[in-house]
Amino acid sequence: MTYVLQTYGAAVLRHKAEPVDRVTAAVRRLADEMIRAMKKHEGVGLAAPQIGKSQRLVVLYHPELHPKPLVMLNPEILKRAAEFFELGEGCLSLPGVNVNVSRPSAVRVKYQDLKGAMRETEYEGLMARIVYHEVDHLNGKLIIDYLPLDQRLRFEAQIKRARHPTRATGEKPS
């Protein structure tokens, strides 16, 4: 299976992803592929929509905090700490962008593992942030959505300009 990393502007990144009903061989392959993609791009997390699959599946990893990659199917945030902290975040789907995002300092998440077993775990600090970021992807939410409106509009205009540069004179229409 080959994947294409989906970047800002791809519709799949804005869809609410579908639940994973059953842990099939295809789901396990997708999880493997996502772990490989995450490591290759030096990310600490990846959600299936980021490789074009609108399914509720995320993978997480952190060299120190969670060296063994973690796969979560249908993750659901049950509880969040009242305390928030702000930190600069990047996203593989928004290359070169770093946005300060305020997130809860701890989350309790319920998910299914690759054996289909239900699990519930609490994460703090950076891991809580990563879980939150990836669950956002499953709901079509991106880090730029946390920006104040004026900054977000400026950012979107920048991206549009980069995609559709003014045609230079003499350029042949295609």
Residues interacting with Zn ion, by CB under 5 A?
A: 91
Separation of alpha carbons 174 and 158, rounded Å: 24
Task: Between 57 and 91, name the residue whose CB sits nearer to Zn ion.
Answer: 91
What Rg, from alpha-carbon coordinates, does the chain have? 17
For tokens 């060299």, what's the residue? 63
Minimal distance, residue 103 CB to Zn ion, in Å: 13
Task: Between 38 and 91, name the residue whose CB sits nearer to Zn ion.
Answer: 91
Tell me, yes or no, if 122 is annotated catalytic. no
Task: Between 21 and 145, name the residue whose CB sits nearer to Zn ion.
Answer: 145
For the record, the structure tokens of 84 come out as 């928030």
Minimal distance, residue 54 CB to Zn ion, in Å: 15
User: Per the residue annotation, which of 120, 134, 156, 171 is the catalytic one?
Assistant: 134
Minimal distance, residue 111 CB to Zn ion, in Å: 18
Sign, Cα dihedral of 113, 115, 118, 122: negative
Query: Residues 6 or more apart from 31 whose CB is under 8 A from it?
Result: 57, 59, 71, 114
Task: Kindly list the catalytic residues.
Answer: 134
